[in-house]
Amino acid sequence: MKKLILLTIVLTGIQYCTFAQFSISGKITDKKTGTVLSQANILIEDSYYATISNPKGEYKLTNLKPGKYSIKVSYLGYISITKTINLSKNSRMDFNMESTFILEDEVIIKALRVGERSAVTSTNIGKRELQEVNIGQDIPYLIENTPSVVVTSDAGAGVGYTGLRIRGTDITRINVTINGIPLNDPESNSVYWVDIPDLASSIEEMQIQRGVGTSTNGASAFGASINILTQKVNPEPYAEVNASYGSFNTNKTNLRFGTGLIKNKWAFDGRVSKIASDGYIDRACSDLKSFFISGSYYGKKSLLKINIFSGKEKTYQAWGGVPKDKLETDRTYNPYTYENEIDDYQQDHYHLIYSKEINKDLQLNTAAFYIKGNGYYEQYKKNSKFSNYGLDPIRIFDTLIVIGPDTTVYPDSLIKRTDLVRQKWLDNDFYGITYSLVYEKENLKAIIGGAWNKYDGDHFGKVIWARFMSNGEKDHEWYRNTGTKRDFNIFGKVEYQLTEKLNLYGDIQYRTINYSIKGLHDDLRDLTQEHNFNFINPKFGLFYDLNSKQNVYFSWAMANREPSRGNYRDADPDYLPKSEKLFDYELG
């Protein structure tokens, strides 16, 4: 009988530990004023349990098994709090939060990011996650394990020219911003990650919004948006050296340093990096250098930040890929064999960012930026026509000339072709301003934002060497054209928590574009043309909490995208490229 009683007690204990579920609830308030804080983030560390406080500042985490939990609460402008609890019954845990003495860096991207209760399919990637995989490869390779991402590498090692697709959509239809400032090249709509090597070492966090996402600055988002926040203030001085080495002589070395907060007001941070790789593909080497410098002033209600960063890349071209018939016998095949078949480009970024807390409900964010790019790629072209480069054929009189083992030119004839080395140059300037006004109170969040920017890009080509130069001089320029693009947008967003479980979201953007090209293309065609576009991009959605672990959301969005420079450049003479339109339905 005693054994039966003991067995019953043991089974009851097992059943209790297995099936008992409890909750933690409480209220989030301002420590000084007692004001309730709605939309505070509450999460159980090292788990997927998370929620936000309602308009009354209240929260509740349910369906928790007995055990030890660390509860972390964070709220913009307040010091984060973590408390530990041994849960054995329904418990209450209140948090009195203390406001920080500085305006934190997260305010910079507040207008573009979405929260936990938004009807947008998104993934957040933090600094720690990036550091764990950051061995010198470009950003596409650091985020390749996030949903719907597929990456490529010309050189095969993830260093040099890399690309990514999200939901099958290429980078020309993915919007990328750094601190809310557009990164996509306005003419091609593309992002060349090789131009900003080791940027990941200066990133605090990123958010990937799949699908159209929310309104943002810069290129239209068809497949996704990638919002990047650069490193925020580190209160303590630091200095560190990082180095890594791997296959194909791939290596990265960088030095990171910072002053910490000086007099609780000033902070300076920096990084210098060098990355090199021989590449998996033959001759697909890369030599990359970059730096990042940031100076910040932190006031209690204002933030002024200057970021200057630059990348210099020199990569041997491997754009041709490996032909299908070579995959079985020569997987590292590279069709380019000329010793200086390289891409050489430098891009410099200058960002001036200012944020101001007008009052506890209203915040202003502004930024001015300038991006300078300059560089070329060099190619050896065999047996090219003089006429393709605006050069005259060479007439031969009374002389027999043999060129190569098979070709003979007889007296009084013409030489119409030559071997040559050419460079195609791009010299561009991209500058503008961004702005947003963010209002948050209880269950309402409203944003008005937008941007204006202008791009000037000079495209030109030089013949730097030829076996027969004809009537050309050294560095003979055979084409030049200029692309000019003006882009203006304004958007409004509203997020409203209708009930404790239901969140509504609305967003509309107006965008106008003027794009013109003047001059000759490399085939000597006149590219002169001008185009104007006016787009309206609406979005709406709803988010519903089924319980603390499950939710459901639905959204609908429309996006428009203008043709790229390449669409106009490569179009048939009688064809005018048209803009694209996307309707995006999300159920998650």
Structure pTM?
0.84
Q: Where are the beta strands (DSSP E) in 259-361?
A: 266-277, 286-298, 302-316, 342-359
User: Bridge partners of 178?
Assistant: 181, 228
Of the ranges 45-49, 252-256, 367-371, 374-378, which one carries the lowest mean pLDDT score?
Answer: 45-49
Position 549 scores a pLDDT of 77
Q: What is the mean pLDDT of residues 85-111?
A: 84
Phi and psi of 530, rounded to 5°? Answer: -145, 140
Biggest alpha carbon distance in the chain?
125
- Give the residue with greater pLDDT, 16 vs 403: 403
Q: Which two tokens stand for residue 410?
A: 């007889």
The two beta strands, 22-30 and 91-92, are parallel
Q: Does residue 447 have a pLDDT over 90?
A: yes
581 residue type, one letter:
K
pLDDT band at 1 (very low <50, low <70, confident <90, very high): very low
Mean pLDDT along residues 255-277: 93
Q: Is 38 exposed, middle or buried (0-12, 13-18, 19+ CB in 10 A)?
A: buried
Confidence band of 143 (pLDDT split at 50, 70, 90):
very high
Strand ranges in 394-443 using DSSP code E only, listed in sequence order: 394-396, 401-403, 407-409, 413-415, 417-441
Strand partners, 57: none
d(CA 256, CA 204): 14
- CA separation for the pair 311, 196 (Å, rounded): 5
Chain centre to alpha carbon of residue 138: 11
pLDDT at 489: 96
pLDDT at 19: 57
Mean pLDDT lowest among 357-371, 388-402, 415-429: 388-402
Distance CA 550, CA 501 (A): 11
User: What is the mean predicted confidence (pLDDT) over 205-218?
Assistant: 92
Q: How far is the C-alpha of 174 from the C-alpha of 166, rounded, in Å?
A: 8
Q: What is the pLDDT of residues 13-23, one digit of tens each?
A: 444 444 578 99
Q: Is the pLDDT of residue 437 over 60?
A: yes
pLDDT band at 12 (very low <50, low <70, confident <90, very high): very low
Q: How confident is the model at residue 5 (pLDDT cuts 50, 70, 90)?
A: very low
Return mean pLDDT, the chain.
Answer: 89
